[in-house]
Amino acid sequence: MSAAPSSANVSRDPLEPTVLIEGAQTDQSLNDSLLNHVWRGAGRGWWMLFGCALSALGLLLIGITYTLYKGIGAWGNNIPVGWAFGIINFVWWIGIGHAGTLISAILLLLQQKWRTSINRFAEAMTLFAVICALLFPLLHTGRPWFAAYWLMPYPSVQGIWPQFKSPLTWDVFAVSTYFTISLLFWYLGLVPDLASLRDSSKSRTKRIVYGIFALGWRGSGRHWSEYKWSYLLLAGLSTPLVLSVHTIVSFDFAVSVIPGWHTTIFPPYFVAGAVFSGFAMVATWMIPARQFLGLKHVVTIKHLENMCKVMLATGMMVTYGYIMEHFIAWYSGNPYEQGQFFKTRWHGPMQGIFLTMVFCNCVVPQIFWFKKARTHVGVIWFASILINVGMWCERFNIVVTSLHRDFLPSSWQNYAPTWVDISLFIGTIGLFSTLFLLFLKFVPAVAITEVKELRHEMEHEAHHASVGGGAGAHG
């Protein structure tokens, strides 16, 4: 990651020359404007949102308690539909989580400068999404109190081990690794900002608190030199990680024999779908956030437009996935596959969900061909919400629709969720929002350090293009 290529890169950067930071900013001004929302006391708006989030969270607690008390029978699941909302939500949340890592890691490796304004935001989202996702693998088992540790390879007195051919075992490792790494990555990036919080806070208590978390960071040149590598390598590791995680999640289905699950295209198309939904979710939150936290000067319309482009691209990958599924079903001549895709999906009892999915995931993103749409905040926001819906429907199709009609017609059964299913779903949204609002309250939503660096770097380019790539390693 040396200066030369990056600076060369910069000049050929398709984004250039565009404003990634608006107005004449100094480090000081950036510092103040970006920390402003942390210093500012919680407004009425924040409290109202927080209230809603908390009540939804309450719903989650009720749902969990009831499920543990009553058993999985509290859900709508049955035989053949052994998995339903639980796994749908799991996959959906995990997918959403991916955008964060993608933005912070992959765009970092690709030296996309525009990422700096949104990566902190997206990484936080990853964490919270993964937390929501993590609830389900445990909760959906019949006996969580055993699942909690029997899935771990520890020397038990029974002398029996986990079964490592099962995708669920892979999941355990994949998801926990993903969570750990995302957390470390996020925190490492946060440390310098925490230091500036520590140093620019007014009240002593706040300074001490932030000071504790800043771990005594003092911007030492010796630290920076290792830090850059540590951060870069974490990014480098997260990149294959993020791809592997959703690949493994897709194995939960792809490895099975069930028509609609048993397909090799799942890994790539799950990952694309993950990024798709992830960006949609980032947009859904970023648009109001930049509005109310006064971040418009760093999260410019340019950023949003780029996100739209990504959504358009991934949306089309997903669409390709759908087409491929159908093609292979037809081409393989497998009657069960054909039944699943040409009969059940289009004409079965779950038809509505399927069509919703097609509309939201294949049709809606197409509007992003138009710059007007890409640059209109309202349109983007609305579209991104639709995409979130669409992606949830996709998971419903994969999980429930495939299961409810498989090989032997004698075992076909319909599926209907219960209030517990629904409250668990809403509940996780509550959990996510709660964590997110807290994050916005106590931590800078934008990576100050990196934005400053970016500014500094662009300043240099303005002056003498020869200097200034170095930050590329970091920015």
> What residues between 344 and 403 interact with another protein by CB under 8 A?
344, 347-348, 403
Give CA–CA dist 142/72, Å, rounded: 6
**Is 157 a residue that touches another protein (CB under 8 A)?**
yes
Between 249 and 353, whose beta carbon lies closer to another protein? 249
For the CB of residue 248, give the shortest distance to another protein in the complex, in Å: 5
**Is 271 a residue that touches another protein (CB under 8 A)?**
no
Spatial CA neighbour of 61 closest among 424, 421, 419, 425: 424
Please state whether the peptide bond connecting residue 192 to the residue before it is cis, i.e. omega within 30 degrees of 0.
no
For the CB of residue 274, give the shortest distance to another protein in the complex, in Å: 17
Between 72 and 383, whose beta carbon lies closer to another protein? 72
**DSSP secondary structure, 298-334, as one string:** TS-HHHHHHHHHHHHHHHHHHHHHHHHHHHHHHHHT-
For the CB of residue 285, give the shortest distance to another protein in the complex, in Å: 26
**Is 425 a residue that touches another protein (CB under 8 A)?**
no
For the CB of residue 247, give the shortest distance to another protein in the complex, in Å: 8
Q: Which of 93, 121, 128, 170 touches another protein (CB under 8 A)?
A: 170
**Is 189 a residue that touches another protein (CB under 8 A)?**
no
Choices 47-55, 190-198, 294-302, 313-321 (CB under 8 A): range interacting with another protein: 190-198
For the CB of residue 366, give the shortest distance to another protein in the complex, in Å: 31
**DSSP secondary structure, 9-56, as one string:** HHHH-TT-SS-SS-S---HHHHHHHHHHHHHSPP-HHHHHHHHHHHHH
Between 44 and 222, whose beta carbon lies closer to another protein? 222
Between 41 and 154, whose beta carbon lies closer to another protein? 154
Give CA–CA dist 105/248, Å, rounded: 19
Q: Contact 82/271 with Cβ under 8 angstroms?
A: no
Choices 8-16, 167-175, 304-312, 355-363 (CB under 8 A): range interacting with another protein: 167-175
For the CB of residue 322, give the shortest distance to another protein in the complex, in Å: 20
Between 228 and 441, whose beta carbon lies closer to another protein? 228
- Tokens 């949104």, residue located: 118
DSSP, res 76 = S
Per-position x/- string for 108-137, each x denoting binding to another protein as judged by CB under 8 A, each - no binding: ------------------------------
For the CB of residue 163, give the shortest distance to another protein in the complex, in Å: 4
Choices 10-18, 183-191, 289-297, 320-328 (CB under 8 A): range interacting with another protein: 183-191
For the CB of residue 204, give the shortest distance to another protein in the complex, in Å: 8
Stretch 229-258 residues interacting with another protein (CB under 8 A): 229-230, 233-234, 237-238, 240-241, 244, 248, 251-252, 255-258
Q: Which of 49, 63, 77, 388 touches another protein (CB under 8 A)?
A: 77
Q: Contact 449/192 with Cβ under 8 angstroms?
A: yes
- Single-letter amino acid code for the residue at 367: I
239 φ, ψ (degrees, to nearest 5): -60, -55
Between 360 and 445, whose beta carbon lies closer to another protein? 445
For the CB of residue 109, give the shortest distance to another protein in the complex, in Å: 15
Stretch 18-47 residues interacting with another protein (CB under 8 A): 26-28, 31
Give CA–CA dist 394/354, Å, rounded: 7
Give CA–CA dist 435/426, Å, rounded: 14
- Single-letter amino acid code for the residue at 391: M
- Single-letter amino acid code for the residue at 162: P
Stretch 274-313 residues interacting with another protein (CB under 8 A): none
Between 18 and 256, whose beta carbon lies closer to another protein? 256
Between 157 and 378, whose beta carbon lies closer to another protein? 157
**Is 419 a residue that touches another protein (CB under 8 A)?**
no
Choices 40-48, 65-73, 287-295, 360-368 (CB under 8 A): range interacting with another protein: 65-73
How far is residue 241 from each of residues 62, 296, 427, measured CA to CA in Å? 34, 32, 28
Stretch 319-338 residues interacting with another protein (CB under 8 A): 335-336, 338
Give CA–CA dist 95/72, Å, rounded: 24
Cβ neighbours of residue 360 closer than 8 Å, sequence gap 6 or more: 386, 387, 389, 390, 391, 393
Choices 38-46, 210-218, 312-320, 433-441 (CB under 8 A): range interacting with another protein: 210-218
Q: Label each residue of 381-395 as H, E or C.
A: HHHHHHHHHHHHHHH
Cβ neighbours of residue 66 closer than 8 Å, sequence gap 6 or more: 74, 420
Per-position x/- string for 439-458, each x denoting binding to another protein as judged by CB under 8 A, each - no binding: ----------xx-xx--x--
Name the token pair of 17: 């020359």
In 323-440, beta strands by DSSP E = none
